[in-house]
Amino acid sequence: MTEPAPEPAPQQARSASSAVRIILRPVASSAPVGFMALAVATLMLSSLQLGWLPQSERNPVALVLIAFAFPLQLLGCVFGFLARDTVVGTGMGILSATWLSTAVVTLTSPPGTTTTPTLGVLMLAVAVGLLVPAAGAATGKPLAAVVLAAASVRFGLTAGYELTGAPQWAAVSGAAGVVLCAIALYGSLALLIEDVLKRPVLPVFRRGAGRASMRGNLHEQLSTIESEAGVRRQL
């Protein structure tokens, strides 16, 4: 006669029912492609503001923003959040939506329009908004903070041009865009090389949690995983 299996002890039952398995799927850093898209987009806009391209090229430049900058930075936004990097996800999301909005307003403006107050207000709001992820990056990733802060300055100056139409604002904003292009290119190159070699080659100035993310062991990386979005019960 077969005897029934013994009932699990209450403590064992509680342990089995409360067991949680967290699966991590590594993804490549999305910051390099996002910063590269930023470099190209700001250079295209500067080319108009500095007169390197005639104003008749406004629509083609807008199409470049839609076809090139917007999708790449949207991709950077999505994979930034998937990699649990709120700074990159937020910064790339703001920038991708900004380029798309700029392009759509440009394409739908009357022919001959060179400035739009609506874009001026948008750029001013974006300049302030970018300070949020820049402040977050400053705690561990100063290079990303510099790129985002430089983008904030660039959009603030562009807001002045869009709101006033003064050529002085266009020249200053265009020059700031060229500087931002150089900073973003450096950030893209430095972070890409770091991600490929798993060690910094060009200075990226990581500190605190940012330094631990590259030099810490697996235990240090996952010590607070239970408190992160997607694992904890509420965002």
Report yes or no: 213 and 221 within 8 Å, Cβ to Cβ: yes
Q: Which two tokens stand for residue 149?
A: 């802060």
pLDDT of residue 134: 95
Cα 105 to Cα 69, 89, 118: the distances in Å are: 16, 24, 8
Mean pLDDT score, 58-81? 95
pLDDT bracket for residue 13 (50, 70, 90): very low
Residue 26: other Cβ atoms inside 10 A: 5
Mean pLDDT score, 157-186? 96
Domains of the chain by start residue, with CATH: 29-203 (1.25.40)
Residues 6+ apart with CB under 8 A from 68: 37, 40, 41
pLDDT of residue 201: 85
The more confidently predicted of residues 84 and 193 is 193
Is residue 75 pLDDT above 80, yes or no?
yes
Q: Which two tokens stand for residue 13?
A: 């039952």
pLDDT tens digit sequence for 88-144 = 999 999 999 999 999 999 999 998 888 899 999 999 999 999 999 999 999 888 999
The more confidently predicted of residues 197 and 215 is 197
Q: Name the pTM for this structure.
A: 0.82
Burial class (CB within 10 angstroms; exposed 0-12, middle 13-18, buried 19+) of 13: exposed
Residues 6+ apart with CB under 8 A from 175: 46, 50
